[in-house]
Chain A
Amino acid sequence: MAEEGASDWRKLDRRALLRLGLTATAAGGVGIGIGFFGGSRYERREMRVPARSQPFSPNVFLAIDRAGVTTIWVTRSEMGQGVSTALPMIVAEELDADWRSVRIEQAPASRTYGNQGTMASVSVISMFDELREAGAVARSMLISAAAEVWHVDSSSCETRPGFVVHSASGRSLGYGALSPLAGALDVPSTPPFRAPADRRRIGHATRRLDARDKAEGRAIFGIDVRPPGLLFASIERARGIGGRVEEADEAAAREVVGVQDVVRMDSGDIAVVADHSFAAFSGRRALSAAHEPGADESTDALLERLREATRGGGAEVRVEGDVDAALSHATRTLHAVYEVPYLAHQCMEPINATARVEEGRCEIWAPTQDPQRVQDIAAEMTGLSRGDCHVHVTLLGGGFGRRTIPTEVRQVIELARHTSPRPVQLVWTREDTLRHDFFRPAAVHRFTVGVGADGAILAWRDHIATPSPGGERASTGNIDDIAVDGAARIPYRAGAVDVRWRDVRSSIPTGIWRSVGHSYNAFAVEAMIDEIARATERDPIELRLEWLDADARQRAVLERVREMSGWRDELPDGRARGVAVHACFGSVCAQVAEVSLVAGRARVHRVWAAVECGLVINPLGVKAQIMGGIVFGLSAALYGRITVDEGSVAQSNFHDARILRVDECPSIEVAIVPRDAPPGGIGEVGVPAIAPAVANALARLRGGTVRQLPLG
């Protein structure tokens, strides 16, 4: 039985990860191997501290040298969401480090570091406790070391950032000076934590540690690594889904200046290896390859199958009461069919991976969200032990779920065996990256909703059809929890409920996309709620507040966004506002969008967002993620649409797969609603509400309903 709800974030976290333990599928060979939180493969007892050059390193996460420089290892991937600042903040808080002395290192793939998978907005959620403990342990040992030096009791010592202080005598010692002494002590098992009221770092706006490098062009992404002797490769593959490359003029490719080799891969695809990327691309063109057509599939045909699949039946996601009986008592019955298309990830950094394979050793550089899976694949393909497969996690130029999928890693390891001992960088062109994406699937919702005169939901029937986003049913039984996330259990008070789901198989490759099932289910649910508000002439925020009586968190953000946006203010002519609220990955977000029509198309002028994510680690980062999630979701709402025709993706680059530009970006205001609770996730919760908020505004502008995306 699918379950969701933001209120119990710990349960959500474990279930989120359990859901994501997906396996390979027929459609695209997608395997997502993800470590489970806490138990199973990546258990803490495996975390032996690697050899460090610093004298004091009581756990895998930190080390302090004699100069007082505190190195903190970041064990999740930095893809813009700010983990490489937020996670160190947690350590530094309990350590009571001088923040200016902190430098970060990206942890390579190793079971030593526990779970390194970055997805489902879980990094802070799942690491909060262990990072606090890591910092607290170190602080406790530094205090003990100082107490020994001073021959005083530890309890008479405290810390100021970077120093242990003995207030009674005014003596102090820096962490650097103490580091060799602390390094000789036993690691305590239950260190005291700092009081929340004493926090100097957590909760305080903190600029990203990597901002300077990124502003100076010194940040190294996967596509930027340059190990000595590097060759560059690009792979010619069939445009069509599942198609093969047939004839190709390999001799012509070899003639291109800079091309070093042409390799026919196990898959039948052809790789061109060259001195630089452009020569590899030119070599591919020179192949003049003929492609076997792909699978007989089109998005038009698939949408027809989805619509058909919502006409009755389907696996029971949640059935309570008798919807048909309840409908007979409704003052009004609304029927609606909602549809959303396939979407691409469109990370700014094209897909790439770099590898060197030699006798007894394999080295990989990958902008990956799942480094231990990369390591496992390397070990499997080379026959080496995991320890002999070194995986460097570079910065990611965007992830959004795409970089959990290791297709390009398998390709580059195969190529590296051909180029050995030289390393090789595999670069997918933008066209490859778009056309061979693992897309957020299309979905159809068919609603039958019975309401009372006051807008009470007497009956809620929602039949959903979508190809599974992960490519495979995630849980035992018939339900893909991910596919129905955000629709399985609506937060609104409702009489009878009948939510069902049908998986409709397609050869179009699918994968997780920022906010996953919530990305389309929130649109359908929140737009349907607004239809109820319009049909019963009720204010859409008031209506929601009334029927969210069981969900204080969602009410709180709605009330805040109502106040922020001046919801009741009069609007200039030609403008309308729409609202939506959604909970996912441990947090909740309500948004209001102010929209007008320009030449018949939606123009979004302003967006207000209120987010509540429990304990805030970095408010500057939280606001950035909500702002960015809104822009990401707005691109999809206005323009996002991937179509497949006769087995081939029709779009190829940014000219026909449009994303929002700066001159179309609304002004965005974000407020954080405080709540004394453990941290919730922040990377995805900004995305789902913007599409329905804009659609709801548009429906008021144009009259009628807005039930399909994209809007633009």
Chain B
Amino acid sequence: MARYALEVNGQAVTVDVAADVPLLWVLRDVLGLTGTKYGCGIGQCGACTVHIDGVAQRACSLPVGGVRGAITTIEGLGGDHPLQRAWVEHDVPQCGYCQSGQIMSASALLRASPRADESEIRAGMRGNLCRCGTYPRILAAVASVVADG
């Protein structure tokens, strides 16, 4: 066990866990931030997507001992992010389990490519699975945010 100092959503926290514990479980089980989800554990589904210094990363595959930089989770997006508003406007979620990861991936994508077109959005979001199949509405919501500038 070791102590790790992390910055999560603008707050300094310290956790006492083994170095190999993925950031996902530190967030969910130690810090109680359950917005970031466990879907597969092998970086295949995107449900665990967070930002490290603004870049989308899969928290299931990041041992806490190796995390460097400011961590932003879905809880840290503010609640009034244009994507979150678009998600409500376009009635995007169904079960909703994948949606935190979808929004985190989309927000990082749009920060890097604010004028992404449909094919870039499809390519950029392909790491995020949705079993309920709301993909068409995800695409519409992201495109609407691009269109609104």
Chain B: minimal CB distance from A422 (Å): 14
- Given pairs A80-B95, A212-B88, 5 additional interface contacts (CB within 8 A): A80-B94, A214-B93, A216-B74, A216-B79, A349-B37
Interface membership of chain B positions 79-90, coded 1 if the CB is closer than 8 angstroms to chain A and 0 otherwise: 100011001110
Q: How many residues of A contact B (CB 8 A)?
A: 63
Q: Give the contacting residue for B122; candidates A82, A427, A663; CB below 8 A.
A: A663
Residues of A near B122 (CB, < 8 A) are: 662-663, 665
**Docked pose: A660 CA to B95 CA in angstroms:** 17
Q: Give the contacting residue for A348; candidates B28, B88, B97; CB below 8 A.
A: B97
**Docked pose: A395 CA to B34 CA in angstroms:** 13
Residues in B84-109 with C-beta less than 8 Å from chain A: 84, 87-89, 91-100, 103
Chain A: minimal CB distance from B103 (Å): 6
**Docked pose: A399 CA to B94 CA in angstroms:** 11
Does A217 lie within 8 Å of B131, measured CB to CB? no
Residues of A near B18 (CB, < 8 A) are: 257-258, 279
Q: Give the contacting residue for A278; candidates B22, B47, B89; CB below 8 A.
A: B22
**Docked pose: A667 CA to B34 CA in angstroms:** 32
| Cβ-based interface call for A429 (8 A) | yes
**Quick one: given A430-B41, A628-B132, are A217 and B95 in contact (CB under 8 Å)?**
no
Does A276 lie within 8 Å of B25, measured CB to CB? yes
Does B132 lie within 8 Å of A398, measured CB to CB? yes
Does B94 lie within 8 Å of A662, measured CB to CB? no
Does B138 lie within 8 Å of A662, measured CB to CB? yes
By Cβ-Cβ distance, the 5 closest A-B pairs, closest first, are: A217-B35, A631-B133, A397-B97, A214-B96, A80-B95
| Cβ-based interface call for B44 (8 A) | yes
**Docked pose: A214 CA to B30 CA in angstroms:** 22
- Please choose the segment from A121-129, A218-226, A437-445 that sits at the chain B interface, where 4 or more of its residues have CB less than 8 A away: A218-226
| Cβ-based interface call for B65 (8 A) | no
| Cβ-based interface call for B62 (8 A) | no
Does A215 lie within 8 Å of B129, measured CB to CB? no
A632's closest neighbor in chain B, by CB? Answer: B133
Of the candidates A81, A282, A348, the one having the most CB atoms from chain B within 10 angstroms of its own CB is A348
Chain B: minimal CB distance from A256 (Å): 8
**Docked pose: A368 CA to B114 CA in angstroms:** 40
| Cβ-based interface call for A277 (8 A) | yes
Residues in A316-330 with C-beta less than 8 Å from chain B: none
**Docked pose: A99 CA to B94 CA in angstroms:** 20
Interface membership of chain A positions 614-645, coded 1 if the CB is closer than 8 angstroms to chain B and 0 otherwise: 00000010001001111110010000000000
Does B44 lie within 8 Å of A659, measured CB to CB? no
| Cβ-based interface call for A245 (8 A) | no
Total A-B Cβ pairs within 8 A: 188
Residues in B24-56 with C-beta less than 8 Å from chain A: 24-25, 28-30, 32, 34-42, 44-45, 47
**Quick one: given A279-B21, A662-B135, are A208 and B93 in contact (CB under 8 Å)?**
yes
**Docked pose: A463 CA to B126 CA in angstroms:** 41
A434's closest neighbor in chain B, by CB? Answer: B40
| Cβ-based interface call for A331 (8 A) | no
Chain B: minimal CB distance from A187 (Å): 35
11 contacts between A and B (CB under 8 A): A80-B93, A211-B92, A216-B77, A218-B35, A220-B34, A226-B34, A258-B21, A279-B18, A350-B39, A632-B132, A632-B133
B20's closest neighbor in chain A, by CB? Answer: A282
Does A662 lie within 8 Å of B30, measured CB to CB? no
**Docked pose: A620 CA to B92 CA in angstroms:** 10
**Docked pose: A220 CA to B97 CA in angstroms:** 9
Q: How many residues of B contact A (CB 8 A)?
A: 61
| Cβ-based interface call for B73 (8 A) | yes
**Docked pose: A258 CA to B19 CA in angstroms:** 12
**Quick one: given A350-B38, A397-B96, A627-B133, are A215 and B25 in contact (CB under 8 Å)?**
no
Main secondary structure, interface of B, reads: loop
Q: Give the contacting residue for A276; candidates B17, B39, B74, B132; CB below 8 A.
A: B17
| Cβ-based interface call for A45 (8 A) | no
Interface membership of chain A positions 233-265, coded 1 if the CB is closer than 8 angstroms to chain B and 0 otherwise: 000000000000000000000000110000000
Residues of A near B138 (CB, < 8 A) are: 662
Does B29 lie within 8 Å of A349, measured CB to CB? no
| Cβ-based interface call for A653 (8 A) | yes
Interface membership of chain B positions 11-23, coded 1 if the CB is closer than 8 angstroms to chain A and 0 otherwise: 0000001101110
Does B25 lie within 8 Å of A277, measured CB to CB? yes
Residues of A near B75 (CB, < 8 A) are: 216-218
B73's closest neighbor in chain A, by CB? Answer: A217
**Quick one: given A276-B30, A655-B44, are A81 and B131 in contact (CB under 8 Å)?**
no
Interface membership of chain B positions 116-133, coded 1 if the CB is closer than 8 angstroms to chain A and 0 otherwise: 000000110110111111
Chain A: minimal CB distance from B84 (Å): 4
Of the candidates A82, A399, A429, A430, the one having the most CB atoms from chain B within 10 angstroms of its own CB is A430
A667's closest neighbor in chain B, by CB? Answer: B136
**Docked pose: A543 CA to B149 CA in angstroms:** 50
A281's closest neighbor in chain B, by CB? Answer: B41
Q: Give the contacting residue for A661; candidates B17, B77, B93, B129; CB below 8 A.
A: B129
Residues of B near A653 (CB, < 8 A) are: 40-42, 44
Residues of A near B97 (CB, < 8 A) are: 221, 347-349, 397-398
**Docked pose: A711 CA to B23 CA in angstroms:** 38
Chain A: minimal CB distance from B39 (Å): 6
Of the candidates A79, A213, A224, A278, the one having the most CB atoms from chain B within 10 angstroms of its own CB is A278
Chain A: minimal CB distance from B116 (Å): 13
Chain B: minimal CB distance from A440 (Å): 14
**Quick one: given A207-B88, A662-B139, are A257 and B1 in contact (CB under 8 Å)?**
yes
| Cβ-based interface call for B134 (8 A) | yes
Does B21 lie within 8 Å of A276, measured CB to CB? yes
Q: Give the contacting residue for B29; candidates A214, A278, A661, A667; CB below 8 A.
A: A278
Residues of A near B1 (CB, < 8 A) are: 257
| Cβ-based interface call for A396 (8 A) | yes
Does A216 lie within 8 Å of B30, measured CB to CB? no
**Docked pose: A430 CA to B35 CA in angstroms:** 18
**Docked pose: A276 CA to B21 CA in angstroms:** 10
Does B132 lie within 8 Å of A654, measured CB to CB? no
Does A346 lie within 8 Å of B126, measured CB to CB? no
| Cβ-based interface call for B137 (8 A) | yes
**Docked pose: A610 CA to B87 CA in angstroms:** 25
Residues of A near B28 (CB, < 8 A) are: 224, 276-277
Does A348 lie within 8 Å of B36, measured CB to CB? no
**Quick one: given A217-B35, A430-B41, are A624 and B137 in contact (CB under 8 Å)?**
yes
Residues of B near A292 (CB, < 8 A) are: none
Residues of B near A665 (CB, < 8 A) are: 122, 133, 135-136, 139
Does B99 lie within 8 Å of A214, measured CB to CB? yes
Does B29 lie within 8 Å of A211, measured CB to CB? no
Does A348 lie within 8 Å of B139, measured CB to CB? no
Chain A: minimal CB distance from B46 (Å): 10
Residues of B near A395 (CB, < 8 A) are: 95-96
| Cβ-based interface call for A42 (8 A) | no
Residues in A191-224 with C-beta less than 8 Å from chain B: 207-208, 210-221, 223-224
B98's closest neighbor in chain A, by CB? Answer: A348
Chain A: minimal CB distance from B140 (Å): 10
Does B38 lie within 8 Å of A277, measured CB to CB? yes
